[in-house]
Amino acid sequence: MAARRRSRLGTRRRAASRALRRFGRRAVARTRANIVRLRRPALVVVGVIALATILGVGAFAASGFYGQYGAPRTPVSVRSWQLRPASYLASDCRGCHSDAAAATTGQPHARLLCETCHVPSVAHPGPVTGVVQMLPATDESDCVVCHAALPGRPVDFSQVAVDVHYAGAECLACHDPHTSTAVKPREVIHPLAHLPPCATCHTPLGLKAYPANHEPAPDEVCLACHRVGAGGS
């Protein structure tokens, strides 16, 4: 490599000395100065044109919002925001479900979105014509998730200690989630001092029938709601 460069340099020098012999020292020096003078502006012009080309092509190639959101984005890259359907529609459920609407009117749960307890209304069976299916209803855990007494919960918020307030009973046995009002089970002041199992006497057709919406149940189920007062065990 070094040898080659040396021989090239030798060639140049031989050419230069030939030029010197042929045109004279002054002419050679003048030509050289002219070349240097010409070369710099020419390089600048070429550079400017090249830069303008790059920027110009870039400006055409890039989309109109280049720089606004970083590098250009294609419609493909934003599809997740455009195509994702909403599940919670905040629909006008009460427009059709007038019974529930009437029940909640003026009640604490009136301000709730139906979808807060029922499932997202995207699961609703389409435009409502003909047979209407109920959305899956709420279950017990949906009551305590809000209304169980907990540290951290605002003190003025309606809440109960679930292990004290009719422990073991189902919320929906007494409470209607739409009206939020409770039908308080009757408290019993029983005539007998030592009680046999409730179902001994209280049967559908027995001594003292219980309401039709009750089913035969062990004592603890009965006593979960019907507090036995004085005279009871």
Which stretches of the chain bind another protein, using CB under 8 A?
Answer: 9-10, 12-13, 15-17, 19-20, 25, 28, 31-32, 35-36, 39, 42, 46, 49-50, 52-53, 56-57, 60-61, 63-65, 68-71, 73-78, 80-88, 90, 109, 111-113, 115-116, 120, 141, 144-146, 148, 150-154, 157, 162
Closer CB to another protein, residue 74 or residue 129?
A: 74
Q: How far is the CB of 221 from another protein (least distance, A)?
A: 22
Based on CB atoms, which residue is closest to another protein, 119 or 199? 119
Give me the least distance between CB of 19 and another protein, in Å please.
7
CB 182 → another protein: shortest distance, Å?
Answer: 19
Q: Which C-beta is closer to another protein: that of 6 or that of 214?
A: 6
Residue 128 and residue 107: Cα distance in Å, rounded?
Answer: 26
How far, in whole angstroms, is CA 55 from its chain's centroid?
41
User: Minimum CB separation from another protein for residue 201, in Å?
Assistant: 37
- Identity of the residue, 82 or 98, whose beta carbon is nearer to another protein in the bound complex: 82
Cβ closer to another protein: 7 or 200? 7
- Give the CA distances from residue 91 to residues 115, 124, 142, in Å, rounded to whole numbers and listed in that order: 9, 10, 21
Nearest approach in angstroms of CB 52 to another protein is 7
Tell me the C-alpha distance between 111 and 230, whole Å. 42
Copy the structure tokens of residue 179: 């009206």
Query: In whole angstroms, how close is the CB of 144 to another protein at the nearest point?
Result: 6
Nearer to another protein, 1 or 83 (CB): 83
Residues in the chain: 233
